Amino acid sequence: MKEKGIIILPGDKSKAEWLIKNINDSFIQNTINTYEDKIYQIACHINANEKMQSNTSSLALRARLNAMENKCSLNQNAHKDIIKNRIRFICKFLKTKGKDYDPKDINIKYTANIPQDDLMIAQILAQVPEGTISKETARSQFSFIANSLVEAERVAKEQKEEIDKHPDLPGGGEDE
């Protein structure tokens, strides 16, 4: 066999079929799909190539992200500890150079890059009875508002400017 590259079998009825594994292609495809699915499950990640219905709600999409968010939260906490230690050591080093910094004065803030359904939040807030939650809490629910206190000041300033534009209305015009 080594010299000629062929197998010589004794007799006419001899077969060597058992040497070659005959597997149909659907078995191979199913195995590949199963392995791919298991990789996503073990990694706690979602398959972005998976086809979904076009009318899937934001809550259903959010539920798919749960495991990945938990994994990211664990990684974020570990990373935050690393950064805190680094800041602490930098502050100790700077203290030897005569500059005194307190590492507790430095805040670390992570912002997840997860799309939010602001339309759904707006609809929910519109249905909440007046006086149930504060306007600051309501503002803080929107993903595009970074600081609800600053936003409240901007709104008050805009309202005052709008009132000052109309001196003929009660409460309007410049105060004298």
Q: Report the range of poorest mean pLDDT among 21-30, 73-82, 88-97.
A: 21-30
pLDDT of residue 1: 63
**Identity (one letter) of the amino acid at 23?**
I
Domain ranges of the chain: 20-49+57-115, 116-167
pTM listed for this prediction: 0.49
Residue pair 44/68 in contact by the 8 Å Cβ criterion: yes
User: What are the distances in angstroms from CA 140 to CA 3, 69, 113?
Assistant: 79, 20, 16
pLDDT of residue 173: 56
Give the number of other Cβ atoms within 10 Å of residue 148's Cβ: 17
Most confident of 7-11, 70-74, 172-176: 70-74
Average pLDDT over residues 56-63: 75
Average pLDDT over residues 23-45: 90
